[in-house]
A and B are shown apart, each in its own frame.
Chain A
Amino acid sequence: MKELETLSRRRFLQNGSVFFGASALAMFASAESAGLNEPPLIAGKSGLRILNDRPLNAEALPHLLVDAVTPTRHMFIRNNGVPPVGVDPSGWRLNIGGESIIRPLRLSIKDLRSRYQNVSLQLTLECGGNGRAEFDPSVPGNQWTLGAVGCPLWHGVRVRDVLEDAGLKNDAVYLAFHGADTHLSGDPEKEVISRGVPIEKAMADDALIAWGMNDGDLHPMNGHPLRLVVAGWPASASGKWLTGLSVRNQVHDGAKMGGQSYRVPKNPVAPGSVVDDSSMKIIGAMPVKSLLSVPQTGVRHDRGQQLKVSGHAWVGDAQVVSVDLSTDFGQTWQRASLQVPANVGAWQQFSAALVFPAVGYYEIWSRATDSNGLSQPMVLPGWNPKGYLNNACHRVAVHVV
């Protein structure tokens, strides 16, 4: 019996690797075939730093995130499993169900487009683990630095409109997603990731079921042909390759909802602490943060000139009210000009022109403050076992000559 189990598991594994092999071939030109020192390419993406190629995880280089609307090619990739291949959008179906749905629905993308109000919104998605690389002691997982964030223009329908069509029972607590990606082990019984958000957030203006980004379809690595986009919450709450939505009468208990995944200690802990699962809570809205995309860190700058500085600031379920910049390690701050968001859930652009008193080494620090009165800390705000929610101020180096 045990042998049989092992055999069948091995078969899963073999199938899994063959399956991945095929998709990998489609996605990458291998280093060998492309020539010496050529990094593998992901079709339709550029300027990404690949952290992991199985599962594929890649972040944008911060100095390339200059656009107010993040181009598809620079939108980060965070995969937990193996994306589906051979996707046929016309045959794709989205099932709406769960304990707290009155009339379950089965919808094609055409149904979604024709039955509900189509909306295009710029919504910020940031990986909960963006900034993990700065944790000390370091923690397991992909070592994201700065670029697991982006704010493309998404096209779809509001989750609210679809759920209201299906009818919500009074006991609705949580929206859960289900996707078509498959487990790395090849085990067909295992769901890769099935997370979601409390029903109140699912019903908000900035929660979409999206089929498009920017001027086209979703990128295959960003969820083609259908995904959830819930602005301002850890991007893991925005399921990709969306096949189902369940409205639950309890906090959803799918893959990566419990344990230590996407959860942080209820009370602050000393760096390096072991924290019991029962003392952890699910991450909600992401904290206020900013990114200087201009200049690139390490820039050489002429003292006689003003240095134009710009970037983005964002926060989950609130608005950024100010961005301050320092060139003297936080001793003094000057206010940047800040734009209002294109819509609720979009990041905001800031800019300033800086002058430097003398030649030498400087760092520009950016610190955003939100409408709840919370600002970015200068250092890692609170160590946690899986390295989430690092919203420490961004720094870039400037050599004034």
Chain B
Amino acid sequence: MWFRCRLALTLALVACNAVAAQVVPNNELQVGAGDHLVRAHCLVCHSAQLIVQSSLTRTQWLDTIRYMQRKHNLWPLGDQETVILDYLEANYGARYQSSGRRKNLPYYR
């Protein structure tokens, strides 16, 4: 009975949450070799969320760095560029979806 009440309460809270609150994604970079460089060079201007929500090939990450340099005042990264690319590729690399049908829809209750 108590469990049922708690379940109902939890569901009510979840439902309530879905209506009233705002949903935020993870804003923390993965811990790994080079994360401090990403923090130092990238997070000066924008949130980690721009990285965390991405999954790109090494070429796409390099293109993104070049775009940031061309358009958004990112400075030359020197030797650190390779370390940064290694980090981005390892932690936010391309995530190919399965082909065939579109992704399965998630349950919500």
Contact = CB atoms under 8 A, between A and B. Distances in A.
Interface residues of A, number: 53
Contacts of B53: 51-52, 142-143
Given A298-B109, A379-B102, A397-B105, A137 B23 contact: no
Given A137-B57, A140-B54, A395-B102, A13 B22 contact: no
Q: Is the interface of A mostly helix, strand, loop or mixed?
A: loop
B80 interface: no
B22 A41 contact: yes
Nearest to B107: A298
A40 interface: yes
A395 B104 CA distance: 10
Contact of B102 (A64, A134, A142): A134
Contact of A45 (B22, B47, B57): B22
B4 interface: no
Contacts of A134: 102-103
Contact of B47 (A53, A297, A392, A396): A53
A363 B106 CA distance: 12
A143 B26 CA distance: 13
A300 B105 contact: no
A128 B45 CA distance: 23
Contacts of B73: 9, 12, 183, 185, 187, 190
A42 interface: yes
Contact of A53 (B18, B24, B99): B24
A322 interface: no
B109 to A, nearest CB: 6
A200 interface: no
B31 interface: no
Nearest to B59: A274
Contacts of A300: 109
A164 interface: no
A184 B24 contact: no
A50 interface: yes
24 contacts: A13-B44, A41-B22, A46-B20, A51-B49, A52-B53, A53-B24, A53-B49, A54-B45, A54-B47, A64-B19, A136-B99, A138-B94, A142-B50, A143-B54, A185-B44, A187-B73, A190-B72, A190-B73, A255-B71, A298-B105, A298-B108, A298-B109, A300-B109, A395-B105
Smallest CB-CB A-B distances: 7 pairs: A298-B108, A54-B47, A185-B73, A397-B105, A49-B23, A184-B45, A52-B49
A183 B72 contact: yes
Contact of B60 (A51, A64, A139, A392): A139
Contacts, number: 122
Interface of B: 18-25, 27, 44-47, 49-50, 53-57, 59-60, 63-64, 67, 71-73, 75, 94-97, 99, 102-103, 105-109
B49 A297 contact: no
B105 A363 contact: yes
Given A39-B21, A298-B106, A298-B109, A52 B50 contact: yes
A398 B99 CA distance: 23
A39 to B, nearest CB: 4
A70 B63 CA distance: 37
A136 B97 contact: yes
Interface string A136-150: 111111110000000
Nearest to A255: B71
A50 B25 contact: yes
A137 B94 CA distance: 7
A278 B54 CA distance: 26
